[in-house]
Structure formats: structure tokens, C-alpha cells
Amino acid sequence: MSSIDGYKSLNLDGKGSELLKISIVNTILSIITFGIYYFWAKVRVKKFFHANTELLGGRFDYHVTGKEKFIAFIKASLIMSGVFGIIGGIPYFLSYFNISPLISQIAGVIFFYLLIGLAAPLLTVASRRFTLSRTSWNNIHFKFAGHVKPLYKIMSKGILLSICTLGFYIPWYICELRKFTHENSKLGKIPFKYTGEGREIIKYFLIFIIILLAYSSYLIFSVFPVIKTNLMEAQQNQTHIALEGEAGFTLLLPLLFILYYIWLYIKLYKYHWENTAFQKYHFRCNITVSKFILNFIKAVLTAVLTAGIGLPWSVIIMKRYLLGTIHISENTDVAAILAAPDEESSALAEAIDEAGDAFDAIADFLG
Amino acid sequence: MSNFNNVEYFDGKTAMPKKGSLSFLPDGIGFESESLYLKFEYTEILNIQEFSDTFHIELKTSTKGASKKLKIFDKKLKDEIEKNWLKSKTFTGNKAAYKLHSFNLHKVLLISAVTLPLLIFIILSLFYKSYILIPEKFDIYLGRSVYEQMFSDFKKCENTTLNKEIEKIFHMLPKENQEFNYSIEIIKYNIFNAFALPGGKIIIFNELIEKSKSPENIAGVLAHELSHIEKRHAIQQLVRTLGFHFVISMMIGGAGEEFEILETISEVGGTLLFLNYSRGFEEEADEIAVEKLIKAKINPLGFIDFFHTLENVLKQASDKLKDTKENNENKENIQKNKDTTMPKEKENDKKPLIINIGEWLSSHPDTEKRIKKIKTQILNNEKEYKELINDIKYWEKIKYQCSSDL
């Protein structure tokens, strides 16, 4: 039952016992096959969550096969070993030109980060294209129509301005990225819309800056001088430094960051969903900090009190809550959702599509 | 068989399903609605999924980015289709996996209770034994790279007399693996320790020689390190670690990425487990060391004597640590008394957080237990031994020759 009038929520109706069963069978088969079944196992769990999520009477599905994942892994491993081979070979190559080993190693590291920077938009687009094309609702597949070039523009501008403005541009950057990913995502022929703006979420980040400044001042003026003295004494006496009482207080401050991070995550989750629209209707989201924490405690207790056996139930508690807070208008015209015919695409887009599964696996590796 | 009504067909073109009925054909199923009649062979079925009240039959399609599905509500119908579909499947592994997944939780729990521990045991045993497949050349390569990275910058002891005496003892000990390049190196550094590098090299630090009471002490240590090399403990440890991580990643990865938090917990458990293995290797090395000493007619009591020295060294180190701590506390108290502007703090507020590390966290077994075990082994193998050096004063003199060169 939806808690917002005129809206229906996403509903995860999968059972913990079913997920536990899948997990056990996956484990047995993965061990028997010396790990090869691992790819089929991952697909099985993803399929469980997709197929057990219901919206407006229809269900989602995940259409990847274990075989596809396995082949993608081999392709990705080949690409990755080629890339790492080149990076590793740079110092040897430069040594022929009598360049010092230190400079050669630095060149290797710079090349690596440059490559990551250049590959990030490509991996994002390819991974999203692959994932969305393999996800469906009532057998109508999602689609991602975004191209790499505009994402390069957004990312290079976003990173540069975020650095230049000492992070103040981050909210605008986040919204631009969301706009790019959402507005290029379609269910069949119908694209999603995103109306979020950076100025509306900057308030959430200002709190972060205040905590960061307060914490940094505390570290600089109170903690570092004590650590420095302790270290010097320890060096003189050739002993190890003992963790003193003040350190306990110092460790409490990161806890504040964790709590802030949870709060920020919830605020942004709600904001992004409420600024996303399908057809002409905006989604609604009724996530709250208190309910999120309550469900989190429930999930943790379920796992701890059952010595880990209840972990599938814990995962379902959290996923069910998060999905259940997303609501879609009852007026959504389901009959108007039609599959998209094959559209014209560029050679690069075709190539990305072809290698999409491998790029998705690489994006998976790099987290 | 008769027609089954209340079936929905999703054609992948529109989100609205077509309602109709299903009938059985000789090699497949037929779907019929008001405007449509479709035939599907059993081989066209990709998957059958079960929900609380419905069953989804996923069908193959040749169109890129599209899929077809039949939704049925009758369990008997689903069972019949499933039976025929499984019959049509050729790859038995795939079939077995599907069947295993379609069992109910009780059955799966029962199967896993029997098979899972057995599978883990088999796979770990295979991993543990698989070190014999690694050529011994790898030990030599590994030992050489460890030496180059860790010990090549240390100063070697170049005193000819001491080197000669230590090498003499080393050569007396029987060596079983002809593939390895056995050698010994004394390093000038104040550490009470010795290392066995895979492939045959032993590193001994001069402090250990200086604190020894007799050359028999050193013979015991060398025999112990030799056993580590010959039993390939370093390679065994490496393979065991790989095996353990493989099993863990299969167990957690197989359960899905949502369970990856378990991996961190398992890593901690794994570390404790490997410390236990490490203790097992030490005990094995002690046992073989005694055998080697007896074979070489070197008095193994010297090995026990070494453990007494080790206990003293550890005790001295612990006393030193205590003294430094007390000194620090005294210094702090003096500072507090001097500083009159600062309010006095309660004693309890400043207690350092000290973690007590038990034997279970150690990579070596308890020294007393080791002594006891060795004593029993010696009692069972009493023989006549020859003195390594007739004049103990000579040993007392030469054992310091390395540091006098410093």
C-alpha cells in the first residue's frame, strides 16, 4: 500500500528465505565448478532483486546471462592486462633514453591516472548502456542514449570548477551529471526528465564544510601538537606510542562524519527522486532519516542475532525500505510505454555497444 | 491435454500484456489470444521464475534489446512445462544447476549441511597439497627476490673465523633436497633472530650468535630453519592463503555483492587461522630439526638451551618496555606537578588503551610447550653425540668477532 495519495510505490516482495536458498546453492555450485559458476551466481542474485520488484502491477527483469558475464570477464581481463602491460612497460621503455628510474616511475603513474581520467566517461556510458539495455519493466527494455563526448565536457568542466572553487561547484556538478544520466535514460521510447539544480542542494554541503573546518581546526591546534610530542618522546625512548585518552575523543569526530554522510545520502536520495519525472509526472519520495536509521538497526540486529544467517533478510529489509520510498503517479500511462525501435547510431556508439559488456565488467573492477 | 486459460503474454513491444490461453503441443506450447496464435518450442524457453502467486516463462528472442515472456498462474501447468523444458535441455550441468535452484529451502539446507563442509574440506585439501605442483625453482626464485629486496642492503659479517665455524656447523647438518642452493649468511645487525628464505638461504643475525651459549645452540637454530626450507613452508603458506581466499570469495561472491561485508569479517578470521597454521609449521620444523641434529650427532639439548636463551631475551625486552613506560609516567607526573595553572586530572582519565595479545595471536607456539615436546622427542632417541667445539672459551671469544668488526 502506498502512503502517498495518487501514487504507487516500488515494492520488493522477494523473501529472505528465497535469497538464502539462492546464496547457498550459488556457493555450492561456485565451489564445485572452481569458481566458474561465480558469474552465473551473480546474475542469479541480480535477477532475484529485479524480478521481485513490482511497480504499477508490472515487474522488472534482468536479462544478462552468466555466459555473457563470463565472456565479458575474459574480454575485460584481456583489455586490463594490455593496459597494465603498457603502464608497466613505460619505465623500461624510458630507460632506453637514459631517463632516471624515478622519473620513469612518475611518468608511469601520471599515465595511469590520465588513462583513468580519459576512460571514466567511456566506462560510465558503456556500463550504463549495457546495464539499462539488459533491464526491463513488463518486458519493455530500458535504454541509455547518452554519448561519451558530452560527458567528457561535463566531467572536465565539473572537476576543474570543483577544484577552482574549493568544492563549492560540487552540487552543480552532481546535478549536471544526474541530468545527463537521467535525461538520456529511457523506458522504451519515453525518456526520464531531471529538474534538479545545484543551488537547491548547496545547503546540504555547507554543513559538511562547517564540520570539515571545525574538525580540521581541532586536529591542527589540539591533536597534532600532542601526537608530535608523543612521537618525539617515543623516538627518544625507543618505545611505541600508547593510545591516550584524548585519542578516544578524536575518534568520535569521524563518527559525526558518518552520521552526516547518512543524512546527506538520504537528503540527496529524496531530492534526486523528487526531481526525476517520467511522462509528465514527477516521482515522489518519502524517505526519512529516522525511518532509515530504524530499518538499518533492524537489519543489523537481524544479521547479528542470527550469527549472519539472517543476512539475506537484512539486505531485503534495507532494499525494501529504500525502494518502497519511491513513488510513481497512478496516472502514468502504461499503455503508452512502447519498445523503442533500433535508432541510428554513430560508429563509436556501435563500438561501445559491442564492447559494452566488457566495459561494464571493467567499471565493476574499478568500483 | 486441455487449454489453460488466464495466461498473459508480454511481447516486448508494449507494456500491456495480451491475455489468452495456453495449450500443449507435441514439442512445445501454443499461446492463443483474440488476435494472436503463437507456437513456442521448449528449446525457446530461457528460464522459469517462481513468485508468490505467479510463474514467469522467459522466452528467447532474436530482436536485440527485446524479450518475450509468458505469465501463468497455475502451478500444475508450470510443473508440466518445466518437466518438458528440462527434458529438452541438453547441457546436463545447466540442468543440474536449475534443478538445485528449484529445490525448497529445507532441502537446500539439508544438502548444504552435508556437502558444503565436505566441499570446503576437499577444495582446501587440494589447495594445500597443490604446492607440490609448484616447481622447486620457484622457491629459489622467490628466495632470491626476497633477499634482494630485504637483505641486500644489510652489512654482512666478514669475519673469516666466525663465518668458518658457522659454516662448519651448517655443513654438518643433513640436507635432503638436492635442487636447493643451500647457503648461510651472517648479517651485522642487533636482532635476536634468524630467517629461512625459500630455495636454501639462511640469514642469521649476529646478536643471536652473541647471545648463544654454545655452538650447539646455533646448530639447533640452523636445523630448524633448514626444516622450514626443505618442507617448503613459505610456499605452503602462500598456497594455503590463496586457497582460503578462493573459498571465501566463492562463498561470499556466490551469494551476491550485497554480502561483501562478510568478506572483511572473513579476512580477520583468515588471518587468525593462518597464525595457527604458522604455529603448526614451527612445531613441524622443531621436530625435523631434532631429527637432523641426532643424525648429525650434534647434541639436541643445545636446541633446548637456545629456547631458554630466547625466553630470557623476551623477558628482558618486556622488562625494558615496562621500565620505559614507568619512566614516561614519572616524567608526566613531574610535568603535572610543575604546571600549576592546569587542573589536575583524575588517574582514570588518562589510562592508555593497551591490548593484551594472547598466545592465539602469535605466529610461534609457546616456548615452554616447545621445550617440552623436544625433550620428549630426545628421550625417545637417546644417542651418543660429539662436541662441536672442545673449548667453550674459544666459542665465547669468536662469537663476538662480528660486532668487534663493526
Ramachandran region, residue A163 (left: φ > 0; alpha: ψ -120 to 50; beta: rest): alpha
For B325, nearest residue in chain A (alpha carbons): A239
C-alpha cell belonging to residue A359: 566495459
Provide the chain A residues 15-34 that lie in CB contact (below 8 A) with chain B: 17-18, 20-33
From the list B58, B56, B69, B81, the residue with the least C-alpha distance to B1 is B81
Residue B52: exposure state from Cβ atoms within 10 A (0-12, 13-18, ≥19): exposed
Residues of A in contact with B103 (CB under 8 A): 21, 25
B341-361 b/e (C-beta count within 10 Å ≥ 16 → b): eeeeeeeeeeeeeeeeeeeee
Position B115: which residue type? T
Q: How many CA atoms lie within 13 A of B188 on its CB side?
A: 14
- Residue A1: the pLDDT is 47
Query: For A237-241, A282-286, B35-39, B170-174, which range has the lowest pLDDT when averaged over its residues?
Result: A237-241
Residue B71 C-alpha, separation from nearest chain A C-alpha, in angstroms: 10
Q: Which residue of A has its CA nearest to B100?
A: A25
CB B180 within 8 A of CB B227: no
Mean pLDDT for B196-211 is 90
Task: Determine the average pLDDT of the residues in B7-19.
Answer: 90
Tell me, yes or no, if A188 comes closer than 8 A to chain B by beta carbon. yes
Q: Mean pLDDT throughout A181-197? A: 94
Lowest-pLDDT range of A310-319, B174-183, B244-253, B324-333: B324-333
User: What's the angle, vertex CA B171, arms to CA B167 and CA B174, rounded to 5?
Assistant: 150
Flag if B350 and A244 touch (Cβ within 8 Å).
Answer: yes
Which candidate from B10, B328, B353 shows the least CB-CB separation from A139? B10
Phi then psi dihedrals of residue B10, to 5 deg: -100, 115
Smallest CA–CA distance, residue B69 to chain A, in Å, is 7
Most confident of A21-30, A324-333, B80-89: A324-333
Scanning B115-174 for CB atoms below 8 A from A yields 115-116, 119-120, 123
Q: A323 in contact with B at a CB cutoff of 8 Å?
A: no
CB A360 within 8 A of CB A130: yes
Residue B279 grid coordinates: 604455529
Q: What is the pLDDT of residues A145-169, one digit of tens each?
A: 988 899 999 999 999 999 998 888 9
Kindly state the percentage of chain B with pLDDT values over 90: 19
Contact B258, A42 (CB under 8 A): no
Characterize B320-339 residue by residue with b for buried, 16 or more Cβ atoms within 10 angstroms of its Cβ, and e for exposed. Answer: eeeebbeebeeeeeeeeeee
Q: What does the pLDDT read at residue B347?
A: 43
Taking the CA atoms of B251, B257, B259 and B263 in sequence, report the sign of the dihedral they define.
positive
Q: Could you tell me if B223 and B303 are in contact, meaning their C-beta atoms sit under 8 angstroms apart?
A: yes
Mutation test of the interface with chain B: which of A12, A17, A18, A24, choosing the one with the most B Cβ atoms within 10 A? Answer: A24
Candidates A75, A15, A47; CA nearest to B67 is A47
CATH 2.30.29.30 in chain B is located at 4-91
CA distance B37 to B26: 16
The one-letter code for the residue type at B127 is F
Weakest-pLDDT range from A207-211, A291-295, A314-318: A207-211
Taking alpha carbons only, the member of B93, B255, B244 closest to residue A25 is B255
Whether A243 has a pLDDT exceeding 70, the answer reads no
Cβ–Cβ under 8 Å, residues A211 and A256? yes
* CA distance linking residue B168 with residue B152, whole number of Å: 24
**In this predicted structure, what is the pLDDT of residue B81?**
92
State the pairing for strand pair A185-187/A190-194.
Answer: antiparallel
Interface test with A, best of B51, B119, B319 (most A CBs within 10 A): B51
Residues of A in contact with B108 (CB under 8 A): 21, 24-25
Give the position of cell 627476490. Answer: B145
- pLDDT average, residue stretch A230-243: 59
pLDDT at B351: 40
Please tell me the predicted confidence (pLDDT) of residue A225.
74
Say which of B103, B255, B350 has its CB closest to residue A23.
B255
What is the predicted pLDDT for the residue at B364?
64
A67 in contact with chain B, both atoms CB, cutoff 8 A = no
| Amino acid present at A51 | A
pLDDT band at A251 (very low <50, low <70, confident <90, very high): low
* pLDDT band, very low/low/confident/very high, at B346 (cuts 50, 70, 90): very low
How many angstroms separate the Cα of B64 from the Cα of each of A141, A344, B187?
10, 14, 68
Overall average pLDDT of the A197-208 stretch: 88
Average pLDDT, chain A: 83
Distance of alpha carbon A60 from alpha carbon A45, whole angstroms: 14
**Which residue is associated with the grid cell 525511518?**
A291
Using an 8 Å CB-CB cutoff, list chain B residues near A334: 15-16
**Residue A334 confidence (pLDDT):** 92
Q: Which residues of B touch A315 (CB under 8 A)?
A: 258-259
User: CA-CA distance, A308 to A319, in Å (whole number)?
Assistant: 17
Residues 106-125 of A with CB under 8 A from B: none
Contacts of A29 in chain B (CB under 8 A): 97, 100, 254
Question: Which of B65, B246, B255 is the closest to A133 by Cβ?
Answer: B65
Task: Tell me whether A239 touches chain B (CB under 8 Å).
Answer: yes
Contact A248 B15 (CB under 8 A): no
- Which of A48-52, A64-68, B84-88, B268-272 has the lowest average pLDDT? B268-272
**Which three-class secondary structure string do you get for chain B?**
CCCEEEEEEECCCECCCEEEEEEEECCEEEEEECCCEEEEEHHHEEEEEECCCCEEEEECCCCCCCCEEEEECCHHHHHHHHHHHHHHCCCHHHHHHHHHHHCCHHHHHHHHHHHHHHHHHHHHHHHHHHHHHCCHHHHHHHHHHHHHHHHCCCCECCCHHHHHHHHHHHHHCCCCCCCCCCEEEEECCCCCCEEECCCCEEEEEHHHHHHCCCHHHHHHHHHHHHHHHHCCHHHHHHHHHHHHHHHHHHHHHCCCHHHCHHHHHHHHHHHHHHHHHHHHHHHHHHHHHHHHHHHCCCCCHHHHHHHHHHHHHHHHHHHHHHHHHHHHHHHHHHHHHHCCCCCCCCHHHHCCCCCCCCHHHCCCCCHHHHHHHHHHHHHHCCCCCCCCCCCHHHHHHHCCHHHHCC
Domain B4-91 matching CATH 2.30.29.30: the answer reads: yes
Query: What per-residue confidence (pLDDT) applies to B332?
Result: 61
Positive or negative torsion for Cα A157, A163, A164, A170: positive
**Residue of A37, A141, A244 lying closest to B65 (CB–CB):** A141
Asked if residue A327 lies in contact with residue A4, where contact means CB atoms within 8 angstroms, the answer is yes
Q: Nearest chain A residue to B8 by CA: give it.
A: A138
What's residue A5's pLDDT? 86
Burial B246-265 (b: 16+ CB within 10 A, else e): bbbbbbbbbbbebbeebeee
The mean of the pLDDT values for chain B is 80
Query: How many CA atoms, within 13 angstroms, populate the side-chain half-sphere of residue B367?
Result: 13
- Coil, strand, or helix at residue A63? coil
Q: Among the listed ranges A277-291, A353-367, B354-368, which one has the minimum average pLDDT value? A: B354-368
Residue to mutate among A132, A139, A315, with most B CBs inside 10 A, is: A139
Locate all alpha helices (DSSP H) within chain A, ordered by sequence.
Answer: 16-32, 38-51, 66-95, 101-133, 148-164, 170-183, 198-218, 224-237, 245-274, 289-305, 311-324, 347-365
Contact residues, chain B, for A133 at CB < 8 Å: 65
Percent of chain A with pLDDT strictly greater than 70: 86
3-state secondary structure of A142: strand
What's the rounded Cα separation, in Å, for the pair B1 and B357?
A: 73
Long-range CB pairs of A86-93 (<8 Å, 24+ gap) are A87/A111, A87/A112, A87/A115
Strands A58-62 and A135-137: antiparallel
